[in-house]
Amino acid sequence: MRLLVTGGAGFIGSNFVHLTVRERPDVQVTVLDALTYAGDKTSLAPVADKVTLVEGDITDAELVDRLVGESDLVVHFAAESHNDNSLTNPWPFVHTNLIGTYTLLEAVRKHGVRFHHISTDEVYGDLELDDPAKFTADTPYNPSSPYSSTKAGSDLLVRAWARSFGIQATISNCSNNYGPYQHIEKFIPRQITNLIDGIKPRLYGKGENVRDWIHVEDHNSAVWTIIEKGQIGETYLIGADGEKNNLEVVEALLEAFGLAKDDFDHVKDRAGHDLRYAIDSSKLRDELGWEPKYTDFQSGLQATVDWYKANEAWWRPAKEATEAKYAAAGH
Ligand SMILES: NC(=O)c1ccc[n+]([C@@H]2O[C@H](COP(=O)([O-])OP(=O)(O)OC[C@H]3O[C@@H](n4cnc5c(N)ncnc54)[C@H](O)[C@@H]3O)[C@@H](O)[C@H]2O)c1
């Protein structure tokens, strides 16, 4: 099978490529990645001899048409993915998440190639902290930021192309991921790399906001399950019942470093910060038989901390620039 992975030099995409090379040696992998600030060739270094990396943009219709035409399956991870950045400059989000997805869909439609679209639970907006509900594939879309609204738009494009043109597509909406190779601008790796540098964790507001954490390996095993067993045209929610508020995450991080639970600083909450996300993944579990492996958050987090400690050469070059960007934005 010839597989095209967009965004395969990013966090989840590179882990997906690693998993594929490890467990599916018959799959021939090509990565299409623009290597933006979030993409890193070195994330693919351990599998470099088994993967073809094409540096290019998913809005480049000619390139996309050629690569899709040479593939049997496209798994689409490429995106602008950081909420905070979308509040300062929304344009790259519109460009990549909407126009990029459109460009891929047109190529997939032309060549009749199977397509799996990676999306987020943030398209559903947020739940009240005391609301017992969880998101399902039937929850109405209610995105809050330029990031989540462009992801919502990309999902709707995929649905429309499936309905109107009969493309062979599935969609997954996953909760917050953690694990190796995540850019240090994101909450967990930023705190981990700060702790390695002896800087206290920082918490938005009171830390009451709840995220449903899933290890990236579990996300990616679910994606393969959907590719192999999912119904064409369907949307599957991926989650591992990992609801934790931000205070609990910070406490778990401090524990992973052997520090006191209250050894952190507060920062002001950001505009439109969603309260709670929670995923009901029963459709994926009951209909397709998927189960997560990393069900203990503390041990998954400890493994992630250990990875960042052992791979400083991977994250250190981006640290100073990332912190300068946050400092300029007042975070
Ligand atoms: N990180 C999460 O917790 C999470 C949760 C659910 C869903 N998702 C979704 O998973 C996907 C991957 O997220 P991530 O966290 O790995 O993101 P990431 O920012 O780490 O990686 C994105 C990758 O896409 C590439 N890219 C960006 N614009 C491109 C373009 N125009 N053309 C080609 N490549 C381009 C970047 O270079 C980078 O390698 C996204 O679609 C995101 O919405 C992420």
Alpha-carbon distance of 256 to 195, in angstroms, equals 10
Q: Whose CA is nearest to atom 18 of ligand 1?
A: 10
* pLDDT tens figures, 54-88: 999 999 999 999 999 999 999 999 999 999 899 99
Residue 18, pLDDT > 90, answer yes
The residue behind tokens 């990013």 is 10
DSSP-assigned states of every residue in 86-154: HHH--HHHIIIIIIIHHHHHHHHHHHT-EEEEEEEGGGG--B-TT----B-TTSPP---SHHHHHHHHH
Alpha-carbon distance of 138 to 119, in angstroms, equals 15
Q: Which of 102, 147, 181, 294 is catalytic?
A: 147
Q: Which of 40, 80, 121, 185 is catalytic?
A: 121
Q: Is the CB of 36 under 6 A from ligand 1?
A: yes
pLDDT tier at 328, thresholds 50, 70, 90: confident
* pLDDT tens figures, 159-210: 999 999 999 999 999 999 999 999 999 999 999 999 999 999 988 888 988 9
What ranges do the domains of the chain cover?
Answer: 2-177+214-238
Active site residue 243: no
* pLDDT tens figures, 221-233: 999 999 999 999 9
Q: Is the CB of 220 under 6 A from ligand 1?
A: no
Compute the distance from residue 11 Cα to the ligand 1 centre, in Å.
Answer: 7
Q: Is the CB of 120 under 6 A from ligand 1?
A: yes
Q: Is the CB of 9 under 6 A from ligand 1?
A: yes
pTM of the model: 0.96
Query: Would you state the torsion angle of the CA atoms of residues 14, 20, 25, 28, taken in this order, to the nearest 10 degrees?
Result: -60
To the nearest whole number, what is the mean pLDDT of the chain?
95
Give the position, in ligand 1's atom list, of the atom nearest the Cα of 58.
32
Active site residue 122: yes
Nearest to 74 by CA among 223, 216, 281: 223
Let me know how long the chain is.
331
Active site residue 147: yes
Compute the distance from residue 86 Cα to the ligand 1 centre, in Å.
Answer: 13
- N- to C-terminal Cα distance for the chain? 45
> 2-177+214-238 belongs to which homologous superfamily?
NAD(P)-binding Rossmann-like Domain (3.40.50.720)
* pLDDT tens figures, 124-157: 998 888 888 999 999 999 999 999 999 999 999 9
In this predicted structure, what is the pLDDT of residue 272? 60
